[in-house]
Amino acid sequence: MIQTKSKLVLYLLLILVPIVSVFHLFSGEISIDFSDFYRALFDFDKTNTNQIIFREFRIPRLLMGIIAGSGLSIAGLLMQTMFNNPLAGPYILGINSGSSLFVAFSIMSGIPFFISDFGTISSALIGAFIFGLIILAFSYIVKSHVSLLLIGIMLGSFTSAFVSILQSMSNPSELKLFTMWGMGSLQQVTLTQIPIILVFFILGIISCIFVIKPLNVLVLGENQAMMLGIHLKYVRLILISITAILTGLITAFCGPIAFVGLAVPNMVKLLLKTQSHGFLMVGCLLVGSLFLLVCDILIQLLETSVHIPINALTSLIGAPFVILIVLKRLA
Amino acid sequence: MITLQDIEIGYKTTLFSIENIQLKKGYVYALIGANGAGKTTFLQSLTGFNQSIKGEVVVSNKSIYTFSRFDKAKTISFVASKFDGIDYLKVIDYISLGRIPYTNALGRLTDYDKELVNESIRLLNLEVLSEKYTIEISDGERQLVAIARALTQQTEVIILDEPTAFLDYSNRKKVMETMKDIAIKLNKCIIISSHDLELCLESNTQLLVIHKERKAMILFDENTLTKEKLISIGF
């Protein structure tokens, strides 16, 4: 199923994730020593600023980096296999924009329930799911890979225009809230929000275990998958649901993050050289986390001179990588 | 194995009818007909993915429509006319996918499954290819690999849709000979649609011909048709 060399790569990644995580925890403008970190976890002193920074900012930011990086990468992998298209991903297919639109609606509705965490997650999930279904419906009509991507991009443009109109009608405080959200950031999450995020994330990841088998067969194309006994309609709906949970959750708390879902699964396939989706998922979990954490470390290092939103940095790295993939395909 | 009795094949309108044909194990049936006569529709009706206009295909005394998804996949396997290969998918992993209808929810292969995979590889002499990627090998090799996948599926019926269309002469011959071998040795019912009249006649298979004027499918035993006769009936 997988070469020994690829297994070694996986082990290496597994070692790298905690190392980079530690780097991530200790990067940032204020330098903090290890003893404060230890005490923040096990012997928390509410009056110590450094410990508060660890507990309230750095740990949630680290966890969110891991969750967002791995979740978006896995969502991208699901979309790529489902649409048999290496350039698919939740962002380019417009699934993110579904979340954005619904979150914009809920923030600007002014209704307390919709502004609460649970309300925001719900609307982000519903938005992602509806847009997932829309793109699925289009995939029945257009057979060409490129056309489907174009439709996804158009869905994105359409919703961002719509969101701009909503913004122009909203009051300054709502506008600020939404603009901050739209730039994408890992640092808006607080420690109290982490449990609910973890519940949704783990739910999404565990569901993935049960789609490994159909995904491995879907690689052969829909007809062959059907002849091997795969219930296509059912499998597609599950894949869209998992993608909606992961994408919606992450979009709700971090804002839109581009290209991770597109680039990381391609990197993982390049590294592991397999189509066995169990391994690819593990690879996406690890590489996705690493990718976003490294991006976030870079952001923190540059913070003194320039503030880069995470969405901008992932695009800066991701977009050229996608062009590379396209060029490689043509060659 | 397969009973076709009083059936009308078509999509929306009837293309041709079948009075009474029995397809047995141990034989290769070559499906011959003009373009648009309904070869593909017929194959889809055999697999139950296209509803026949009248009557129903009966496989092992059961209507094809009553099969569950996995039962169907354990009874009928399908080889497409072309397999282009897939990035990062190895030959052995591709052949292993034939075991999918038998595996648990996680798709884990048992030792028995792995033994069957190796058996198919040995039977078709694909040992040297097994660790290669499916995009690195030739069209002819890929077609044999696809047949190995179908064998691994351990079905009594194997359907091949124009498997030789994209192959050169020696590979075409090889595929036909291999299928005849398999039909006899492993006692399988094999149906191959083909445009290659000479190859079918040369290989001495049973012929399922879609009669052009009578709009009916007729079964001819091996060696009972000449090329001229075949052309006059089917084209």
Q: Quick check: A239 and A281 in contact, CB under 8 A? A: no
* Nearest CB partner across the interface for B78, out of A213, A227, A230: A227
Mean pLDDT of A279-300: 95
**In this predicted structure, which of A55-64, A67-76, A172-181, B69-78 has the lowest mean pLDDT?**
A172-181
Give A292's pLDDT tier (boundaries 50, 70, 90).
Answer: very high
pLDDT digits (tens, 9 = 90+) for A224-237: 999 999 998 899 99
Length of chain A in residues, anyone?
331
Domain B2-234 = CATH 3.40.50.720: no
Q: Domains of chain A: which residue ranges?
A: 4-330
pLDDT at A105: 84
Contacts of A3 in chain B (CB under 8 A): none
3 state SS for chain A: CCCHHHHHHHHHHHHHHHHHHHHHHHCCCCCCCHHHHHHHHHCCCCCCHHHHHHHHHHHHHHHHHHHHHHHHHHHHHHHHHHCCCCCCCCCCCCHHHHHHHHHHHHHHHCCHHHHCHHHHHHHHHHHHHHHHHHHHHHHHHCCCHHHHHHHHHHHHHHHHHHHHHHHHHCCHHHHHHHHHHHHCCCCCCCHHHHHHHHHHHHHHHHHHHCCHHHHHHHCCCHHHHHHCCCCHHHHHHHHHHHHHHHHHHHHHHHCCCCCHHHHHHHHHHHHHCCCCHHHHHHHHHHHHHHHHHHHHHHHHHHCCCCCCCHHHHHHHHHHHHHHHHHHHHHC
Mean pLDDT of A59-84: 95
pLDDT at residue A174 tops 80? no
What's this model's pTM, rounded to 2 decimal places? 0.91
Mean pLDDT of B195-208: 89
Whether residue A269 and residue B107 make contact (CB cut-off 8 A), yes or no, is: no
Mean pLDDT of A209-216: 95
pLDDT at A326: 83
pLDDT at A140: 86
Q: Quick check: A219 and A275 in contact, CB under 8 A? A: yes
Q: Please give the share of chain B, as a percent, with pLDDT higher than 70.
A: 100
Find the residue in A nearest to B84 (Cα). A220
Contacts of B88 in chain A (CB under 8 A): 269, 272-275
pLDDT at A41: 79
pLDDT at residue B26 tops 70? yes
pLDDT at residue B157 tops 70? yes
Candidates A227, A272, A274: best to mutate against B (most CBs of B within 10 A) is A227
Distance separating alpha carbons of residues A85 and A208, to the nearest angstrom: 19
pLDDT at residue B92 tops 90? yes
ipTM (interface pTM): 0.89
Residues 6-45 of B with CB under 8 A from A: none
Domain A4-330 = CATH 1.10.3470.10: yes
Greatest Cα pair distance, chain A, in angstroms, is: 65
pLDDT at residue A180 tops 80? no
Q: What is the mean pLDDT of chain B?
A: 91
Does A1 contact B at CB distance below 8 Å? Answer: yes
**Helices A59-82 and A232-254: crossing angle, nearest 10°?**
150
Distances (CA, A) of A144 to A26, A64, A140, A147, B209: 47, 35, 10, 5, 35
Distance separating alpha carbons of residues A153 and A138, to the nearest angstrom: 13
Q: Give B22 or A108, the one with higher predicted confidence.
A: B22
pLDDT at A1: 62
Candidates B50, B71, B75, B97: best to mutate against A (most CBs of A within 10 A) is B97
For A54, half-sphere exposure in the C-beta direction (CA atoms, 13 angstrom radius) is 24
Look up residue B65 and give its two tokens.
């429509």
**In this predicted structure, which of A33-37, B73-77, B150-154 has the lowest mean pLDDT?**
A33-37
Q: Quick check: A98 and A129 in contact, CB under 8 A? A: yes
**Min Cα–Cα distance to chain A from B233, Å:** 32
Q: Domains of chain B: which residue ranges?
A: 2-234
pLDDT at A163: 84
pLDDT at residue A331 tops 70? no
Distance separating alpha carbons of residues A13 and A6, to the nearest angstrom: 11
pLDDT at residue A109 tops 80? no
Find the residue in A nearest to B108 (Cα). A213
Whether residue A220 and residue B107 make contact (CB cut-off 8 A), yes or no, is: no
pLDDT at A47: 82
Q: Which of A107-111, A183-187, A212-216 has the highest mean pLDDT?
A: A212-216
Mean pLDDT of B202-223: 87
pLDDT at residue A70 tops 70? yes
**Min Cα–Cα distance to chain B from A278, Å:** 9
* Nearest CB partner across the interface for A224, out of B80, B90, B101: B80
pLDDT at residue A318 tops 90? no
Whether residue A227 and residue B87 make contact (CB cut-off 8 A), yes or no, is: no
Does B70 contact A at CB distance below 8 Å? Answer: yes
Candidates A275, A277, A328: best to mutate against B (most CBs of B within 10 A) is A275
Contacts of B76 in chain A (CB under 8 A): 227
Q: Give B204 or A282, the one with higher predicted confidence.
A: A282
Collect all residues with Cβ–Cβ distance below 8 Å to B104 and sequence separation of at least 6.
none
Whether residue B100 and residue A229 make contact (CB cut-off 8 A), yes or no, is: yes
Give A20's pLDDT tier (boundaries 50, 70, 90).
Answer: very high
